[in-house]
Structure 1
Amino acid sequence: MPSISDTVTTADGSCPVTLHTPDGEGPWPAVVMYPDAGGARPTFRAMADELAGYGYAVLVPDVYYREGDWAPFSMATVFSDDAERKRLFAMISSVTSERMTTDASAFFDYLDTRPEVRGQAFGTTGYCMGGRTSLVVAGRLPERVAAAMSFHGGGLVADDPASPHLLADRIHAAIYVGAAQDDRSFTTQDGETLDKALTAAGVRHTIEWYPALHGFAVPDNAPYDEAAAQRHWEATQTFFAAHLG
């Protein structure tokens, strides 16, 4: 799929992004794809190409751009290497809800200017911490998000004013959550809490549980599960076609 590298001016600087589009002539509806804790890397550029092939312009941001020229993580060893694990969690903690929101506003403004993009409401999707970002953005910028997806997202129910379940009454988007089994960051009880909050707020939503572990959809994650990943692509294609296409 065609892609370009660019930068988006945000409130805090310049965020490197890649924009992936289908073959042929647009414009197309746009989706922001938020990476997992490992950040933007070749795996996510390949995943963006996959999603672009379904008929979308897909933006992948470097959510750690405030760190400067940061060294990539090895997802095979990052959680077993103490120094790398500390570096990873320090970078994760730097991506606050406020930063998610201001960055997303800049990403949407950028997409508004692109000739490849049509429409003024967008899709979001994300993995792990990016799954939380996807739903936080849907709650914080409701007029700009038409459809939001989260795959093995953590922290969707938390003691935090920006927790997605507490933003439910602000969400206009349709919501899809693809949850992992035995995931301490999003338990079955969390799923019930989120479901009740979204139902009470009248939000169109689906929460599905995949028989796979946290990280199942991302090819360079150790728990990657090919069957679950294929199911997630099928869900993605169906969901965005219904609510964004």
Structure 2
Amino acid sequence: MSMIDYAAPAGPASGYLSVPEGDGPWPGVVVVQDIMGMTTDIRRISDRFAANGYLALTPALYGRGPKVGCVVTTMRSLMTGKGTAVDDIIAARDHLVADPRCTGKVGIVGFCMGGGFTLLLAPRGIFDAAAPNYGVLPRNASQHLSALRSSCPMVASLGAKDHLLPGAAEKVEAALAEGDVPRDVKEYPEVGHSFMNDWGFPRPVPTLERVVGYNYSEPEAEDAWRRIFAFFDEHLGPK
């Protein structure tokens, strides 16, 4: 497990590559970070995919300059559906496809902001499966959701107490159903935003938890992981 550089339209991009044990080939997964960046948690998530037989690459979306500026340009890329962050994510997919250790099938998984990028890119015909977790929707949410009718197969996990995304599970399910997209959409009733992200500080920021509905919860997180691996095994296999 190590940081690598890979080719991208704006010049070399950096990312964290997690490689399974053995010889492969394996399906690929692009892991898209949350707003916090290249944290220990997101690297642990990448490593978890490798431990389950996936060649995983996590683009460092804040790796092209000062962090504040990178956050702004990354969020702008999410809102507009284009720009360096989108290009770097797609280039990560292309890097995996070109790797002889990859089967050529690649999924995408994201959390919070990364879940938004996952929803954005799932209908573009470049990924074989998608797993947006409490994915933040852009300003043109209706247009964004409408595009999901042509999405790749999707397993989505959301929390009913997520005040950032009221009713999102129902909206995502309806859009996917309209396109008859293979799907597994689940809303967990007792959790809020970021319930799968374990940043290592217990019930960290009371104001954030109260306003956003943040809380890491292992039972729901582990159930979501079970569903993701079952879904990816079905749509990205064999490993």
User: For this structure pair, what is the TM-score category when the shorter chain's length is used for normalisation?
Assistant: 0.7 to 0.9
Q: TM-score, normalised by structure 2?
A: 0.83
For residue 70 of structure 1, report the CA deviation from its aligned partner.
3.1
Partner of 2:98: 113
Q: Secondary structure at the match of 1:63?
A: coil
Cα distance change, pair 238–201 in 1 and its aligned pair in 2 (3 A): same
Aligned mate of 2:20, from 19, 22, 35: 22
Q: Deviations over 1:89-142 (max 9, x none)?
A: 6355233321354223311221122122112x31010100101111211112x1
Q: Which amino acid aligns with 1:95?
A: S
For residue 30 of structure 1, report the CA deviation from its aligned partner.
0.3
Partner of 2:106: 122
Partner of 2:35: 37
Q: Which amino acid aligns with 2:236?
A: L
Q: TM-score, normalised by structure 1?
A: 0.81
Q: Which amino acid aligns with 1:227?
A: P
Unmatched segments (≥5 aa) in structure 2: 205-214
The answer to whether structure 1 residue 136 and structure 2 residue 128 are counterparts is no
Partner of 1:74: none
Number of residues of Structure 1 aligned to a counterpart in Structure 2: 220
Q: Secondary structure at the match of 2:102?
A: coil
The answer as to whether partners of 1:14 and 1:65 remain within 8 angstroms in 2 is: no
Partner of 1:82: none
Determine the C-alpha separation between the residues in 2 that align with 1:13 and 1:89.
18
The answer to whether structure 1 residue 186 and structure 2 residue 165 are counterparts is yes
Aligned mate of 1:159, from 130, 135, 140: 140
For residue 7 of structure 1, report the CA deviation from its aligned partner.
1.1
Unmatched segments (≥5 aa) in structure 1: 72-86
Determine the C-alpha separation between the residues in 2 that align with 1:162 and 1:170.
12
CA-based RMSD of the aligned residues comes to 2.2
Partner of 2:72: 90
Q: Secondary structure at the match of 2:82?
A: helix
For residue 160 of structure 1, report the CA deviation from its aligned partner.
4.7
For residue 162 of structure 1, report the CA deviation from its aligned partner.
6.1
Q: Which amino acid aligns with 2:182?
A: R
Aligned mate of 2:191, from 208, 212, 219: 212
The answer as to whether partners of 2:8 and 2:91 remain within 8 angstroms in 1 is: yes
Identity of aligned residues (%): 26
Determine the C-alpha separation between the residues in 1 that align with 2:61 and 2:15.
9
The answer as to whether partners of 2:32 and 2:115 remain within 8 angstroms in 1 is: yes
The answer as to whether partners of 1:122 and 1:147 remain within 8 angstroms in 2 is: yes
Cα distance change, pair 169–226 in 1 and its aligned pair in 2 (3 A): closer
Q: Deviations over 1:36-61 (max 9, x none)?
A: 10111222111111111111001111
